């Protein structure tokens, strides 16, 4: 007698949709989710040159079968495409990492920043709300909120600290934060804000201060530049390591209830300390000789001091930062020295 074949239920992998997939965090989060078995869909902007350097190692030929990393053109300014992608991809989880993310630049292009970094979030939330209402499917939402929203509120800052933003970027992020909370409370969306403090890496954009200094030090060591021009050396930030922060994003969406979490190291250091450590790592003495101050890098209003109180994330998510300031700076400087072939072990 022929034995009845038992049907094995096919294990469906989870599907994630990411905006900002070409950015620092987008690249690390994609790697993280692919390792967890997810199918990852990323939204990229059309550009006249390739803008995918951070994710090229993940690229899969469109003709391959069973692809798990798929890119789509789209823009946070374009509500139609955002909506189409949510319906087409049918994601279990949406991570909104896309933004005009540079604080200094937000003073030059405030309206654009409000449109992308602020209203862009509303466009996604509207699309998810409609998708859930029409299909009955749940799509959890992560919003890349920022410690920049705390602005001039004295440190340490946690989930209860009031927002006093000091830049068009911080204001746009506060709009997105409150919109995320509102869609959770008004429509029952599983929507979380990760309020992340500065996090850096070898993949950090070259105009953010950590990478600018690491790269500048290597270029001086290689004899290519004579000085690094900076703005405010007294500002203090809580700097952590980006690959560790993307795990916190994912953890937020795996909880029973949607909530907001502060993510940071709990330590702060000044830009001056960063400069000193970076030059000393490259064995260059008298760093003052290589630093110029250029007022164009000052902000019309500065956020002076950020330190995270990440206790809630530690207790509820079991998340703790591993890489602290010294190791982070050394890692970034070493990577730049290697890039310019001037690394001495
Ligand atoms: P990033 O490297 O600057 O990446 C930003 C991403 O957003 C890029 O993929 C960029 O695409 C995309 N983007 C820009 N304008 C867009 C538009 N109009 N439509 C769609 N996508 C657009 O930033 P990150 O450091 O990875 O940060 C990720 C998110 O976390 C951002 O929302 C940032 O504001 C927020 N955040 C970052 C930190 C931090 O310390 N890194 C801390 C708190 C919050 P292109 O590559 O085409 O430019
Ligand atoms: N970028 C830059 N360039 N910053 C400088 C310079 C310079 O030449 N000189 C001094 N700084 C100071 C800035 O004034 C600021 O106080 C500090 O260095 C850090 O600047 P950034 O690295 O540009 O980061 P940010 O803190 O303004 O913003 C980053 O962190 C936010 C989270 O707090 C970005 O990643 C934001 O997207 C993120 O939300």
Over the stretch 300-334, which tens digit does the pLDDT of each residue have?
A: 999 999 999 999 999 999 999 999 999 999 999 99
What pLDDT, on the 0 to 100 scale, is given for residue 1?
42
Q: Delimit the domains of the chain by residue range.
A: 15-202+240-267+305-322, 209-234+270-301+327-339
pTM (two decimals): 0.97
Q: Out of 3.90.25.10, 3.30.930.10, 3.40.50.2300, 1.10.10.10, which CATH number does the structure's domain 209-234+270-301+327-339 have?
A: 3.90.25.10
Q: Closest-lying ligand to the alpha carbon of 176? A: 1
| pLDDT-above-70 percentage for the chain | 97
Q: pLDDT tier at 144 (50, 70, 90 boundaries)? A: very high
Catalytic residues: 146, 148, 169
CA–centroid distance, residue 100 to ligand 1 (Å): 6
**Sign of the CA dihedral running 324, 327, 330, 333:** negative
Indicate if 209-234+270-301+327-339 has the same CATH topology as 15-202+240-267+305-322. Answer: no
Domain 15-202+240-267+305-322 CATH class label? alpha beta
Over the stretch 122-138, which tens digit does the pLDDT of each residue have?
A: 999 999 999 999 999 99
CA–centroid distance, residue 151 to ligand 1 (Å): 19
Mutate to test the pocket of ligand 1, among 54, 94, 97, 102 (most ligand atoms within 8 A of CB): 97
What pLDDT, on the 0 to 100 scale, is given for residue 345?
83
How far apart are the C-alpha atoms of 124 and 146, rounded to whole Å? Answer: 18
What pLDDT, on the 0 to 100 scale, is given for residue 8?
55
């Amino acid at each position: 007698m022929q034995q009845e074949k038992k049907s094995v239920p096919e294990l469906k992998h989870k599907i994630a949709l990411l905006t900002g997939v070409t950015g620092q965090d987008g690249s690390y989060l994609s790697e993280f989710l692919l390792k967890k078995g997810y199918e990852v869909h990323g939204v990229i902007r059309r550009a006249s040159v390739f803008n995918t350097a951070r994710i090229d190692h993940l690229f899969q030929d469109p003709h391959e079968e069973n692809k798990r990393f798929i890119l789509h053109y789209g823009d946070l300014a374009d509500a139609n495409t955002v909506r189409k992608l949510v319906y087409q991809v049918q994601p279990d989880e949406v991570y909104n990492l896309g933004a005009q993310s540079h604080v200094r630049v937000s003073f030059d292009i405030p309206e654009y920043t409000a449109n992308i970094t602020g209203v862009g979030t509303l466009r996604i939330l509207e699309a998810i709300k409609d998708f859930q209402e029409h299909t009955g499917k749940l799509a959890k939402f992560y919003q890349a909120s920022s410690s920049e929203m705390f602005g001039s509120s004295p440190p340490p800052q946690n989930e209860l600290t009031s927002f006093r933003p000091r830049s068009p970027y911080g204001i746009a992020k506060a709009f997105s934060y409150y919109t995320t909370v509102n869609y959770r409370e008004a429509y029952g969306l599983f929507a979380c804000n990760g309020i992340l403090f500065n996090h850096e890496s070898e993949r950090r954009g070259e105009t953010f201060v950590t990478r600018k200094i690491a790269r500048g030090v290597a270029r001086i060591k290689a004899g290519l530049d004579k000085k690094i021009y900076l703005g405010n050396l007294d500002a203090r930030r809580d700097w952590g390591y980006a690959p560790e922060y993307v795990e916190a994003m994912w953890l937020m969406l795996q909880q029973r209830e949607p909530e907001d979490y502060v993510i940071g190291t709990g330590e702060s250091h000044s830009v001056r300390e960063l400069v000193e450590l970076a030059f000393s790592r490259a064995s260059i003495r008298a760093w003052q000789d290589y630093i110029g101050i250029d007022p164009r890098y000052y902000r019309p209003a500065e956020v002076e001091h950020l330190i995270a109180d990440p206790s809630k994330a530690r207790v509820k998510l079991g998340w703790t930062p591993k890489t602290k300031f010294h190791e982070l700076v050394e890692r970034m400087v070493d990577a730049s020295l290697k890039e310019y072939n001037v690394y001495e072990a």
